Amino acid sequence: MRSLVALLTLSAIFLLPTPAAAKPEDPGTSAHAPNPSTTANTTASGAVQGRLLGPDGAPASGVKVVLPDVQLVTETDDRGVFLFPAVPSGTHQLVAVGSGYRSLRMSGLLVAASRTLTVETQTLQAAEEVTQLDPFVVEGQRRRLGAVARGEALLIPRMAGGNLDLPRTQDGALPYRIYNREQLERSGVVNLNAFLQRELLDSDAATRPPEQSGLLDAFTTGSSNLNLRGFGTDATVILLNGRRLPESPPPPGSSELAAADLNFIPLSLVQQIEVLPVSASALYSGNAIGGVINIVLRPDLDTTELSTTYTNALQGFSAPQSSLSLQHGRTLLNGKLRLRLNANFARSTPPTKSDLGYLRTASTSTAPTNSPLYGATPNIRNADGTPLFSANSATVTSVAPGADGSGGLAAFAGRENVRNSALFAPDAGLVALPGSLHYPFGRRERRAAALTSVTYDVLPNLQLGLDAIHSHSVISRGYDAFTADLKLSASAPSNPFGRDVVVSLNEMAPALGENYSEASIRFNSLVLAALVRLPAEWRLVFDGQFTRNITHFRGLAGVDRDRWQALVDRGLYNPLRDTQVVAPPAAFYDEVLLYRGGRNRSVVLSDYQTYDGAIRLTNQALTLPTGLGTLALGTDYRNNHLSSHTDTSVYADGTPAEDPVFWSGRGITRYSLFGELQAPLLPAHWMPNGIRGIDTDFGARYVASSSGAEANLAPAGGIKISFAHGFALRGSVATANRFPTPVMGSRNTLGDDPTPGAGPIEYPTILDSRRQESYTIASRDAPNRGLRAESAVTRTVGVVYDIGQIHRLRASLDYVMTKKAMELIYLSAQTAADLESLWPARVIRAPLEIGDTHEVGKITNITTGVVNVAWRRSENLNLTLDYVWTECFNGTLEVYGRWIGYQRYERQVLPKSPVVDELSEPDGTAGGLLGQRVGFGADWSNNQVGFGLDGHYYGSRSLPLSERTAQGGANVSPFWQYDAYVQCELRRWIPWFDEKNGLRVQVRIDNIFDTSFPYYANDPSGAGVQCYGDWRGRTYSLSLTATF
């Protein structure tokens, strides 16, 4: 490390500073400095200087440049140079407007006393008419509230450790989408995943992420809903400040990495989110077939900010979510050292079935009497189907509520032929069982995160940066519950029936406590960077990132059903009691329960590490024969490593329940060479009449791995032709090549279980379409070493119309088509059952039993895993509409609309299999694909108050054939939701607050009409609805932001 710093320092000493980067001896007496029209107190002040160029690379003279929060205004000279000689120290915004140019906005300009901040040379974009200053700029007021300005990107100065990617906008050749800070602040959510779930129309609306699902283990993490355009979470690359956000480690028994977890990133730290919903392996490393999401953090600040959000249900129950964030920025050492600290705390409690009223139970009239039924109390049936009580009497009964199992046959009086199908409802907290009244739609989570950011100007041309993040999450689902079918012999003292019976029951272990099964997840990230400013606007960046994700877990691994039956046979466990109120005996804890690693012991389930390094050479003001362009060249390196670990299941005394399972981890190393050029295609004086400009964006990336088995070249290119009167056409071709995700872990011991595969045995519930029955089967995951690489090409064609200033209208329509070959998909247990005819070897069925009228026997075992399919093709239209009136009753009125509509979504699984239309006749392999999604709304705001209405539409979803009988139709119905908010700046009402202080409060109500979710019979949670958005239904949120 010392040698690297020394080398960088020595390099910077010998670099000649450019005029734009040089620090003048006295900014106030610069020979070429324009005179500001307004000056400020020079006490504790510094200077800001920079240069503006026109689209053709010529100096932009006469452009008005404003620092609105300190009421400073100046103009550029004939060289395009501007200078503010006396700017109060602190963090400022900059706005530049001029005739024939679009307004330029920059944020995070950190000014230190007695120092000059040199802003990188900026290129202005052409506009159709004279651009006017916003009212807040003219008035020179500090703006606490303001317009949302949807889609507007905010430029941030390039800093060591900052955003590595080039600046992106929604008006370029590639169809980026921008979600800015105003949208984040007005959303009223407490985590980033919830925001994207609502706003990102390309994501998976039907899939619940782990924090909104009680079906997944507490140690399962990852933003599984960020599945752009239905191509899978592993085909969506997520970046943090242009750096790859590491995947979540695989859960025990799996070799596949999960989606990255966004929720450790505090919302208060995010400046904007840039989304490219096309294949983009040429521009970004990784499997960017579905698209890319880049989360850009806020730049340095020189203030203290406290923000908090609390949200809860409005339906008479409490399921609160809250977050508290404190951040502080400060400059030291005369402005050379910039320090930023952030601490964030978040909590959430999920709603339950009893809260939401989702009380669907199994129908006793249709359930066969010889089949298990797990209800509130144990259900009993004769083992041989003969009467239980006397001749010609009922063959089934159930335990009476509150019974302790000692009442004999009298305890069943009046319960002949009565089966209990009610939900399991112990007097307890959360119970992680879909058949329970207290089943949670999510998990109880506590999260604390801290970020430290330091930048230091070693020399005028050398800046070092360090970013460190630590996040700790504690997650639990409540009590574990287990189902069993136990045989009680006729001779058992507790059996009053005098014949062998089978008892179907739910059981839990209340003595362990509600939060016994608890995951502790620690994520750490360290970024070290160096920025070298070279002559002629060149910048050289050395960047390295290390991350580590460790998952600890204390909890149960299951039950030993053979030992459970043995307890019954020995008379130590009475199954004829109400298990909701009568606890199991101590022997159940000692002999039946399986503890992961040991009772009251926390074990490491995964340890996943990544190392990323990059060298980038960029120039955002490169003079080319055709005009001014931007160039980025570089190379990057990535190594991810999953540590080996051993799974052990033991009884309470430490005796192993089975042989320990050793999972060997592995490391994967990849490297790439890349380049991107953004430049005009023709010089301005060559442009044909009626064409204002032709801009291009070309990129390419060569990727290889240390194993030598992976090597590919992915090019991409886009072009935008701007016409008069605000019209523009754009189009692009982008490619992506994806190699199969390597098996990160493999099981070294397989045991004697007949289920194929290397993973541990899972017991999912599947719907058998050939028998029209739902039941539990055994499954294992098996690595497929015969997988081949897949490739994709995305083509886009679009039109953009942008006109007006006081009344601004912007509309864009983009057609996106992606074709994939040799696609990789994951066969879950349900998907494998649905596609049994294509992969019959993965599904094992039992022989037909005597008297069984079905054509096939029940499934006993399924092998899950990743397979290649032939091809997939998707076509969709993306429509964006924005209208802004900047002088509406002394404020700004905004009306917006967003629409995504799939025109075609087809897949062929095998070369000779039929083509499947996933929009109208899906086969279940494309997830919860919606044909249409819409977001729309309107808002009005000024400096003191703002309010708005947002709407969301989720189109009809077609169901696979196997689900239509239970659904009673072919579709899940559409869903509408409306939200409203109001916010206010309270600073002027607080006497001791000055211009540097701010206090903003917001109240928001989501789903104001309390619209019910549409019916969905096969909802995995058993709720019987398709949840879009928040399980809690109508909710309110209260947000408060104080700035000091």
Q: What is the DSSP string of 490-531?
A: TT-TT--SSS-EEEEEEEE-GGG-TTSSEEEEEEEEEEEEEE
pLDDT at 711 over 80: no
pLDDT at 776 over 50: yes
Tell me, what's the pLDDT at 730?
96
**Model pLDDT for residues 695-705, shown as the tens digit of each residue:** 999 999 998 88
Tell me, what's the pLDDT at 134?
42
Quickly state the pLDDT bin for 12 (edges 50, 70, 90). Answer: very low
Across the range 665-691, mean pLDDT stands at 89
Q: Tell me if 306 is assigned to some domain.
A: no
Complete edge-to-edge strand list for the sheet that includes strand 431-432: 396-398, 379-382, 501-508, 479-488, 431-432
Q: Tell me if 886 is assigned to some domain.
A: no
Q: Which residues contact 873 (CB under 8 A, 6 or more apart)?
A: 817, 818, 819, 820, 904, 905, 906, 907
Tell me, what's the pLDDT at 255?
62
C-beta separation of 957 from 971 below 8 A: yes
Tell me, what's the pLDDT at 747?
59
Quickly state the pLDDT bin for 756 (edges 50, 70, 90). Answer: low
Q: Per residue in 26-45, is it b (16+ CB within 10 Å) or e — as a string?
A: ebeebeebbebeebbeeeeb
Quickly state the pLDDT bin for 1036 (edges 50, 70, 90). Answer: very high
Tell me, what's the pLDDT at 750?
44
Tell me, what's the pLDDT at 145?
58
Side chain identity at residue 700, one-letter code: A
Q: Helices marked H in 327-483 — which ranges?
A: 353-356
Q: Does 146 or 768 have the greater pLDDT score?
A: 768
Joined tokens for residue 457: 């100007």
Alpha-carbon separation of residue 754 from 34, 561, 746, 829, 856 (angstroms): 82, 18, 18, 16, 20
110 is in which domain, residue-wise? 2-143
Q: Does 919 or 805 have the greater pLDDT score?
A: 919
Tell me, what's the pLDDT at 695?
93
pLDDT at 725 over 70: yes
Q: Tell me if 817 is assigned to some domain.
A: no
For residues 737 and 714, give the distance between their C-alpha atoms in angstroms, rounded to a whole number.
7
Joined tokens for residue 423: 């939900």
Side chain identity at residue 800, one-letter code: V
CB neighbour class for 772 (10 Å; exposed up to 12, middle 13-18, buried from 19): exposed
Tell me, what's the pLDDT at 954?
96
pLDDT at 10 over 50: no
CA nearest neighbour of 341 among 456, 453, 449: 453
Side chain identity at residue 910, one-letter code: L
Tell me, what's the pLDDT at 746?
61
Within 655-756, strands assigned E span 661-665, 667-680, 691-705, 711-723, 727-738, 745-747
Q: Per residue in 279-313, is it b (16+ CB within 10 Å) or e — as a string?
A: bbbbbbbbbbbbbbbbbbbbbbbbeebbbbbbbbb
What stretch of H or E contains 586?
A: helix 586-587
pLDDT at 41 over 50: no
Backbone angles phi, psi at 97, to 5 degrees: -135, 145
For residues 697 and 695, give the distance between their C-alpha atoms in angstroms, rounded to a whole number.
7
Quickly state the pLDDT bin for 27 (edges 50, 70, 90). Answer: very low
Domain harbouring 84, CATH code: 2.60.40.1120
Joined tokens for residue 711: 């090597």
Domain count, the chain: 1
Joined tokens for residue 702: 């060569």
Q: Tell me if 11 is assigned to some domain.
A: yes
Confidence (pTM): 0.84
For residues 570 and 586, give the distance between their C-alpha atoms in angstroms, rounded to a whole number.
14
For residues 614 and 638, give the distance between their C-alpha atoms in angstroms, rounded to a whole number.
9
Counting residues of the chain whose pLDDT is more than 70, the rounded percentage is 89
pLDDT at 8 over 50: no
**β-strand partners of 261:** none
Across the range 310-318, mean pLDDT stands at 94
User: Given CA atoms 314, 318, 321, 326 in this order, what sign does their dihedral have?
Assistant: positive
Residue 343 CA to chain centroid, in angstroms? 21
For residues 757 and 829, give the distance between their C-alpha atoms in angstroms, rounded to a whole number.
13
Across the range 496-516, mean pLDDT stands at 94
Q: Tell me if 58 is assigned to some domain.
A: yes
Task: Provide, for the chain, the percentages of residues in helix, strand and coil under a 3-state DSSP scheme, each rounded to the nearest 5.
Answer: 10, 45, 45
Across the range 602-630, mean pLDDT stands at 92
C-beta separation of 885 from 892 below 8 A: yes
Q: Mean pLDDT over all residues of the chain?
A: 86
Q: Tell me if 44 is assigned to some domain.
A: yes
In this structure, of 450-464, 797-811, 920-934, the range with the lowest mean pLDDT score is 920-934
Q: Tell me, what DSSP letter sits at residue 16?
A: P
C-beta separation of 287 from 736 below 8 A: yes
Q: Does 248 or 450 have the greater pLDDT score?
A: 450
Across the range 146-174, mean pLDDT stands at 82
Across the range 448-474, mean pLDDT stands at 95
For residues 493 and 164, give the distance between their C-alpha atoms in angstroms, rounded to a whole number.
73
Side chain identity at residue 963, one-letter code: E
**Model pLDDT for residues 390-442, shown as the tens digit of each residue:** 777 888 999 999 999 999 999 999 999 999 999 999 988 899 998 999 999 99
Tell me, what's the pLDDT at 299?
79
For residues 246 and 1003, give the distance between their C-alpha atoms in angstroms, rounded to a whole number.
35
Joined tokens for residue 707: 């194993």
For residues 398 and 414, give the distance between their C-alpha atoms in angstroms, rounded to a whole number.
10
For residues 765 and 837, give the distance between their C-alpha atoms in angstroms, rounded to a whole number.
20
Q: Tell me if 118 is assigned to some domain.
A: yes
**Model pLDDT for residues 992-1027, shown as the tens digit of each residue:** 777 778 899 999 999 999 999 999 998 888 889 999
For residues 111 and 113, give the distance between their C-alpha atoms in angstroms, rounded to a whole number.
7
Q: Per residue in 805-832, is it b (16+ CB within 10 Å) or e — as a string?
A: beeeebbbebbbbbbbbbbbbbbbbbbb
Q: Tell me, what DSSP letter sits at residue 1025?
A: B
Quickly state the pLDDT bin for 132 (edges 50, 70, 90). Answer: very low
Q: What is the DSSP string of 653-682?
A: TS-BSS--EEEEE-EEEEEEEEEEEEEESS
Tell me, what's the pLDDT at 759?
57
For residues 814 and 796, give the distance between their C-alpha atoms in angstroms, rounded to a whole number.
7
Quickly state the pLDDT bin for 910 (edges 50, 70, 90). Answer: confident
Q: Tell me if 625 is assigned to some domain.
A: no
Q: Does 850 or 925 have the greater pLDDT score?
A: 850
Q: Which residues contact 462 (CB under 8 A, 6 or more apart)?
A: 8, 9, 11, 12, 530, 531, 532, 533
Quickly state the pLDDT bin for 13 (edges 50, 70, 90). Answer: very low
Joined tokens for residue 415: 């319960």
